[in-house]
Amino acid sequence: MRLNEIPNGTMDLINIQCETRENLILRINNLFKSWGYKKVITPTIEYYKVINSGFESFKEQDIYKAFDNNGRILVLRPDMTIPIARLVGSKFKGVKKPLRLSYTSNIFRVNKELLGQKNESTHCGIELIGEWVKGSDLEVIILAIESLKLFNFKKFKIEITHVGIFNELCIKAELDLKTKNKLASLIEEKKIKELEDLLADLTIDVDYKDIIKKLPWLVGGKEILEFNEKLELNSLKYLKTLAKTIEELGYEEFICFNLGRLPRINYYTGLIFSAYVEGYGDFVLNGGRYDNLLKVYGEANNAVGFSINIDALAEINTLNLLMDSKEKIILEYKEENFIDVIKEADHLRSMGKIVEIKLKRSNEYGS
């Protein structure tokens, strides 16, 4: 290892990269604040038991671990939702709800090498806790849309689903937990052949087989929510109602639906959504409802939130247009007018100018 190497999945940021991220974070945090969200900061390190209790799907090899002086396992936080849940169960226990909390934090995950994924990334996010379900779902979706509208993307979409649709289907089909989890994994990963083979082996009503088989393909506008008029699912009805309200609020152009998205079905309890920007291959924002998580940490309540990947936004080339196009002013000084130049620079900076001062070099000093 060379002394100027850095760990896999990390990166140094310089000049315009730093300015771009600062610009993004400032705009997003100002928006969150205008909606009544208050900033919180949690430790970068957490106890492994705290994280594992809320996120059993995390594999040990995917988390950075260490030991404290007492032999307890510590981790670099791989997520911000669990630290927020822990915080609410301690600092905000018994506090009148709803709570509107926001954060800007780095998270750490050990990704496989050569996939181009970052092991350290910066996120801005919000959590809305203890509010009416439909009202809070609407609020976070609209706030997610408004967050991305800050950056004048040519086109972006918030892709929405509801984990209850799949859960209700499994209940009606009387599927056991193991089969349910396997089906969810195949649908999420779009492994169509394996999904069809598994469904063929199941002794369930053919109508349920056909519906489950369709889920990976149900992507599009609100019309896909009408894929089966006879199907009586509360979650599907809720999603239709939500879609109608979003349309009435004037945000229909920014949303679509994907009923084949089933990430961590034992973690999310309702709405799930992600945001995609045209021309970028991965989501830049994701969130959802997790009503069962807070009770693990001592404060049972419903909750919904989202996280924006600042690094992903910064990678999108069009964001360079966001930077202020201020020209830098350079003031040169000599020893005899040093104080006057400093005063002039301070005056210009007070007017919002970017000013650098430097020694005026004559031939005897070289240039």
Annotated binding site for L-histidine: 79-81, 109, 127, 267-268
| Contact (Cβ atoms closer than 8 angstroms) between residue 165 and residue 120 | no
Q: CA-CA distance, 213 to 192, in Å (whole number)?
A: 8
Spell out the alpha helix ranges (H) of 173-252.
177-188, 192-201, 206-214, 234-248
Which residues are annotated as part of the binding site? Answer: 79-81, 109, 127, 267-268
The residue type at 261: R
Q: Tell the burial category of 201 from Cβ atoms under 10 Å away from its Cβ (0-12, 13-18, 19+).
A: exposed
Coil, strand, or helix at residue 114?
coil
Smallest CA-to-CA distance from 75 within 85, 64, 86 is with: 64
Q: CA-CA distance, 164 to 234, in Å (whole number)?
A: 8
Backbone angles phi, psi at 106, to 5 degrees: -90, 140
Residues 6+ apart with CB under 8 A from 283: 159, 274, 275, 276, 309, 312
Smallest CA-to-CA distance from 311 within 108, 112, 58 is with: 108
